[in-house]
Amino acid sequence: MATYVLIPGAGGESWYWHRVVPALRARGHDVVAPDLPADDDSAGLAEYAEAVVSAVGDRTGLILVAQSMGAFTAALVCARLPVDLVVLVAAMVPAPGESPGDWWANTGQPQAQRAADEQAGRDPDAEFDPVVRFMNDLPPDVVAAAMSRPPRDQSATPFATPWPLAAWPEVPTRFLLCRGDRLFPAEFQRRVVAARLGITPDEMDGGHLPALGRPAELVERLEAYQAESVRHRR
């Protein structure tokens, strides 16, 4: 069995994974889903990675699953711990020396989002609405639960922190994009992943938050990756 290490995106809340954790544990896996110090203005990417490393402790057989901005943290964890596999989910793939704040303009995300909105008939200049942008495919009860949680402000500190690695770690890596992602449109992700990781992403239906919107399918994808990883190591 594996140790799944589930790394959240901006906001840093392990709650994001609460529909995935019991399903993985029911299959016999160990699961670590730490909160990140996202509301701490003294914490940058190094502190985010430290939070994950501390939560992992001496566990082995690590599979890191990183959502969105969590990719920046996952790579730093790989530099410190023996990791069998990284799975990036609707993620931001960093470049050497690039901060999460610079990633958006460097990749052309604003233009890609605007084009996707226009093509879908959404107003690209509409006021930001998290339900429209992030939760478009979530069940109503999950949307209600997410919106009822006390707000946790994401500090700007890590967005100004350059990613310190010279290259993506030499760890087997899979990328899973969501075809209905309104933040990182599918065609945009196909381009960025190919350019920065040199791989073709896998694809599933759903929006930016598949652990909340499609947890069963996400778990099946993760389990398939885990089984393939085991075969390759034999």
CATH code of the domain containing 229:
3.40.50.1820
Chain segment 152-205, per-residue pLDDT in tens: 889 999 999 999 999 999 999 999 999 999 999 999 999 999 999 999 999 999
Chain segment 190-228, per-residue pLDDT in tens: 999 999 999 999 999 999 999 999 999 999 999 999 998
Helix (H) or strand (E) holding 178: strand 173-178
> What are the Cα distances from residue 48, in Å, to 23, 40, 199?
25, 10, 26
* Residue 234 predicted with pLDDT over 80: no
> What are the Cα distances from residue 156, in Å, to 5, 77, 96, 161?
24, 21, 20, 9
Kindly give, in sequence order, each residue whose CB lies less than 8 Å from that of residue 34, ignoring residues fewer than 6 positions away.
7, 14, 51, 52, 54, 55
Backbone φ and ψ for 39, nearest 5 degrees, come out as -95, 15
Alpha-carbon gap, residue 121 to 8, rounded angstroms: 30
User: Total domain count for the chain?
Assistant: 1
Per the structure, the complete domain to which residue 161 belongs is given by 3-233
Rounded to two decimals, the pTM is 0.96
